[in-house]
Amino acid sequence: MRNIKLLIEYEGTSYAGWQVQAGLPTIQGSLIDAAARLTRKEAAIAGASRTDAGVHALGQVARLKTESAMPCHKLMQGMNALLPDDIVIKEAVDMPDWFDPRNDSKGKIYLYRIINRNHPSAIARNFTWHIFAPLDIAAMREAAKHFIGEKDFSSFKAANAEALHFTREVTSVEVFDRGEGLIEIEVRGTAFLRHMVRIMTGTLVAVGKGKISPAEMPAIIEAKDRTAASMTAPSQGLILVKVEY
């Protein structure tokens, strides 16, 4: 049985997320179907991150388990020909049997994109969160500093998050003003809870609107209570940029 590492880019707009769900279109399901059709053998695919409905990826990593002897470059070309246009395999490489994309990951990089102006973007509407009210970027940057480190992020987890514990290490949070109303929030960490980056973003936006002071962030984190943080940012602004090994 071969263990093949796949590097995948996708637009999550039309999908119910990464993970296979009965009766719903998913990224994982589309990949399994393409691999099985191409090789005419059973295929098993596991990803590094279970992105939610509407979330995109530039660098999702998955492993394909297959008995097919097809060379990796042919496998990549063949699957891309069978996949929908909004899912693309960028690389396929044979790996040792022990490689696991989720457990072997050393870190992930996420990017959240906001359009902050008096009108949204017709072109980028599926890739940004439009916010009309002007945001105080300096206050958001000050608040973001409090996320850095190994902490209990219970205040920033989804209500149905499943984890053995809620301690995660965030290594960097940067807020970039790209001009013309585009704000990008880049979050790096070793691992993340479900919805964690989106709730962090929603809370930073609340700071930017003046609803929360940067000085309140330590208390919000220390509360370990989801109700202490702000809203969950919409899924379409989030991109999984890279999984690090």
Residues assigned a catalytic role: 52
Helices (H), 105-177: 137-144
Rounded-to-integer distance, Cα 127 and Cα 98, Å: 35
The size of the chain, in residues, is: 245
Rounded-to-integer distance, Cα 28 and Cα 225, Å: 32
Strands 2-10 and 87-95: antiparallel
Rounded-to-integer distance, Cα 229 and Cα 157, Å: 10
DSSP assigned state of 24: B
Residue 160: exposure state from Cβ atoms within 10 A (0-12, 13-18, ≥19): exposed
DSSP assigned state of 228: G
Rounded-to-integer distance, Cα 188 and Cα 105, Å: 13
Instruction: Tell me which amino acid residue 88 is.
Output: V
- Taking alpha carbons only, the member of 155, 218, 141 closest to residue 185 is 141
Rounded-to-integer distance, Cα 124 and Cα 98, Å: 39
What are the beta bridge partners of residue 175? 185
- Taking alpha carbons only, the member of 208, 181, 189 closest to residue 111 is 189
